Amino acid sequence: MTSLDSADDNTISDAVKTRKIEFRFCKECANMLYPREDRTLGTLSFQCRNCQFSEDVGPVCIYRNELSNTVGETSGVTQDVASDPTLPHVNRACPKAGCGGNDAVFFQSQQKTAETGMRLFYVCCQCGHVWSPVKG
């Protein structure tokens, strides 16, 4: 067996170890412990169905899904919006350095927030850069 094969075997065995399922057994009657949620305390424990023995799991986080409801004012805008035939075109110079494009499409923000208000956004037809005029 080459050293490369043994390295692959170690990687596979490490992957198997991480997916290993552990069973817990009651210390009093040796029956299997089952997960139980205490909704009032918000804790997880393992409990025996035979003798009511209980064992706390501890502060273990398996997965956390954090959702953010903040949306950028130009969310959903892609470079393809410049080729949309339904958007109006305007002769505006692109502010991106090195672009030099003078054709842009413009649209009003679709976000219904006080910050965006009635602000227009421009998209350069040459490079796809998105910008908005400075509020004055």
Cα–Cα dist 33/24, whole Å: 5
CB neighbour class for 104 (10 Å; exposed up to 12, middle 13-18, buried from 19): buried
125 labelled binding-site residue = no
- The alpha-carbon radius of gyration of the chain (Å, integer) is 30
99 labelled binding-site residue = yes
61 labelled binding-site residue = no
Cα–Cα dist 133/130, whole Å: 10
29 labelled binding-site residue = yes
26 labelled binding-site residue = yes
List the binding residues.
26, 29, 48, 51, 94, 99, 124, 127
List the binding residues for Zn(2+).
26, 29, 48, 51, 94, 99, 124, 127
